[in-house]
């Protein structure tokens, strides 16, 4: 209907031939020279929670200034203005050709550092789209790159009612149960699930005794960052490491920052929301175009790495703790389809070297540092309670504590004041978000949810390097105790 309305107003409108992943729209907009794109999706929520995502000509989510203007324009349109278009059907909109669909599949190869590794030691993956749009892309991607796949057939068919799960959110362990059962039965290396609009990826891997356990969003981000930088270093691709960049949100694990520091690579933190990562990729592309004089059409990872390090900043990885990842700069939003390829490449490398995913995570803690990340939230009863909590949060930012439990507060970063710049020197917009840093290297981020009556806490506990599995067990236990103590303190603050 949206496409038809635009066409009837005299515009040129294109549609996909069926439901497609959100990141595919992001990629396609600049490829066909469109001025904007619209995705209507509820993601893992009920259909009546459909959202309206708007993308600019670069394929990035529109910035706050633009969306504010757009909302004002929408507010000026009355129901009577649109009633004549509601019964017109899909008139005037064109269906995108197969070449446009295939171009997106081709672009995903940009995420792979060593594509041949997937055929040399292919990991066995169980895949589920959780009744969503990933079914239109991921099976094609896995076949294209030689990844043996077992599909969760009961969840392959698109279904807005999500009949086999309580919630099709890969962050919810119950959504992964059917896939985990199949993965354990068939001896798979991993279960990979994409959410209904296929922009977020959940992963479960073997734990001790052959049982599968779910990796957190932070753990997946940590593993991808470590693997990609390790391989780039080994292959001589970090020619100018200061011109390589990992983009992540402030609330995503600080261990990624430590990994970047190890290789001399920039880690740029953004505010919460992948749109900020997309915006930054656009800035790097703009600089590349200015210095190089033309776009780089080469899809080969190694060539792109060298050219962008020479003329701009090479985008290595984008990550958010809420299961959002990106491995290519041709898409400007989180992309579970490229994330699947990145994680499959990691699994192939581990298989070749006789390591499990869990063992690799332990090696990361030993090599770089130990950081455990926890997410907690306080659910409030009403919007009024949320408003009260925001006021408490504001006062808290003005008068922060000197200690929480036995942890000494060394710094508080108040993002609501403005005037904060990131590692690229770019000024950040104001946000009702606070980051407390502790003397031992731990930290906690506190923010009010933008969509629910919740206050969210992102706790990262630092523990130094782990020398053995026994060390890890002890560090894990102490980290949980510290995180619980921090959360109990905030429960008291907002009581």
Kindly list the catalytic residues. Answer: 43
CA dihedral (78, 80, 82, 86) in degrees, to 10, reads: 140
What is the spatial distance between Cα 170 and Cα 192, in angstroms, rounded to a whole number?
9
User: Measured at the alpha carbon of residue 29, what is the angle toward residues 310 and 8, in degrees to the nearest 5?
Assistant: 155
User: Measured at the alpha carbon of residue 240, what is the angle toward residues 238 and 241, in degrees to the nearest 5?
Assistant: 60
What is the layout of strands, in order, in the sheet containing 403-404? 370-379, 454-464, 443-448, 433-438, 407-414, 403-404
Q: Are 58 and 283 in contact (CB under 8 A)?
A: no
Both structure tokens of 64 = 């706050």
For the chain, what is the radius of gyration of the CA atoms? 23
Both structure tokens of 359 = 């063992």
What is the spatial distance between Cα 278 and Cα 273, in angstroms, rounded to a whole number?
9
CA dihedral (153, 173, 50, 248) in degrees, to 10, reads: -110
Beta strand spans in 56-107 (E): 94-95
User: Measured at the alpha carbon of residue 445, what is the angle toward residues 443 and 451, in degrees to the nearest 5?
Assistant: 160
Contacts of 202-211 with C-beta under 8 Å, sequence gap 24+, read: 202/170, 202/171, 202/175, 202/176, 202/323, 203/343, 204/176, 204/179, 204/180, 205/356, 205/357, 205/358, 206/356, 206/357, 206/358, 207/358, 208/358, 210/184, 211/184
DSSP label of 257: H
Q: Are 326 and 277 in contact (CB under 8 A)?
A: yes
Both structure tokens of 407 = 């942890």
Q: Are 285 and 265 in contact (CB under 8 A)?
A: no
- Expressed in angstroms, the distance from the first to the final Cα of the chain is 46
What is the spatial distance between Cα 403 and Cα 383, in angstroms, rounded to a whole number?
30
């Amino acid at each position: 209907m949206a496409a038809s309305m635009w066409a009837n107003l005299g515009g040129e409108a294109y549609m996909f031939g069926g439901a497609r992943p959100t990141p595919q729209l992001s990629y396609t907009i600049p490829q066909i020279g469109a001025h904007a794109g619209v995705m209507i999706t509820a993601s893992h929520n009920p259909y009546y929670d459909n959202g309206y995502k708007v993308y600019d000509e670069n394929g990035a989510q529109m910035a706050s200034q633009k969306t504010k203007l757009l909302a004002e324009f929408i507010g000026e349109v009355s129901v009577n203005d649109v009633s004549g278009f509601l019964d017109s059907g899909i008139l005037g909109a064109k269906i995108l050709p197969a070449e446009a669909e295939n171009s997106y599949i081709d672009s995903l190869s940009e995420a792979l550092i060593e594509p041949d590794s997937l055929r040399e030691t292919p990991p066995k993956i169980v895949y589920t789209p959780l009744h969503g749009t990933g079914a239109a892309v991921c099976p094609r991607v896995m076949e294209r790159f030689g990844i043996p796949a077992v599909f969760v057939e009961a969840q392959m068919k698109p279904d807005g009612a999500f009949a086999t799960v309580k919630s099709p959110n890969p962050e919810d362990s119950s959504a992964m149960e059917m896939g985990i059962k199949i993965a354990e039965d068939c001896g798979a290396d991993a279960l990979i699930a994409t959410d209904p609009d296929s922009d977020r990826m959940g992963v479960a891997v073997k734990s001790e005794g052959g049982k599968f356990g779910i990796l957190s969003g932070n753990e997946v981000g940590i593993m991808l960052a470590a693997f990609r930088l390790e391989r780039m270093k080994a292959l001589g691709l970090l020619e100018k490491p200061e011109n390589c960049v990992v983009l992540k949100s402030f609330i995503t694990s600080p261990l990624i920052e430590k990994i970047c520091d190890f290789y001399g690579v920039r880690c740029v933190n953004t505010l919460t929301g992948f749109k900020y990562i997309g915006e930054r990729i656009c800035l790097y592309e703009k600089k590349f175009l200015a210095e190089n004089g033309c776009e780089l059409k080469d899809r080969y990872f190694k060539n792109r790495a060298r050219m962008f390090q020479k003329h701009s900043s090479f985008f290595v990885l984008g990550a958010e703790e809420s299961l959002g990842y990106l491995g290519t700069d041709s898409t400007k939003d989180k992309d579970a389809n490229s994330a699947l390829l990145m994680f499959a490449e990691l699994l192939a490398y581990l298989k070749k070297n006789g390591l499990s995913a869990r063992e690799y995570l332990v090696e990361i803690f030993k090599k770089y540092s130990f950081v455990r990340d926890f997410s907690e939230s306080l659910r409030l009863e009403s919007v009024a309670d949320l408003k009260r909590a925001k006021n408490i949060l504001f006062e808290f930012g003005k008068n922060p504590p000197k200690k929480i439990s036995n942890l000494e507060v060394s710094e508080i970063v108040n993002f609501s004041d403005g005037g904060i710049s990131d590692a690229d020197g770019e000024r950040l917009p104001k946000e009702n978000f606070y980051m407390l840093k502790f003397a031992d290297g731990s930290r906690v981020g506190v923010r009010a949810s933008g969509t629910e009556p919740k206050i969210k806490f992102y706790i990262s506990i630092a523990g130094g390097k782990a020398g053995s599995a026994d060390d890890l067990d002890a560090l894990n236990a102490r980290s949980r105790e510290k995180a619980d103590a921090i959360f109990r303190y905030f429960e008291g603050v907002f009581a």
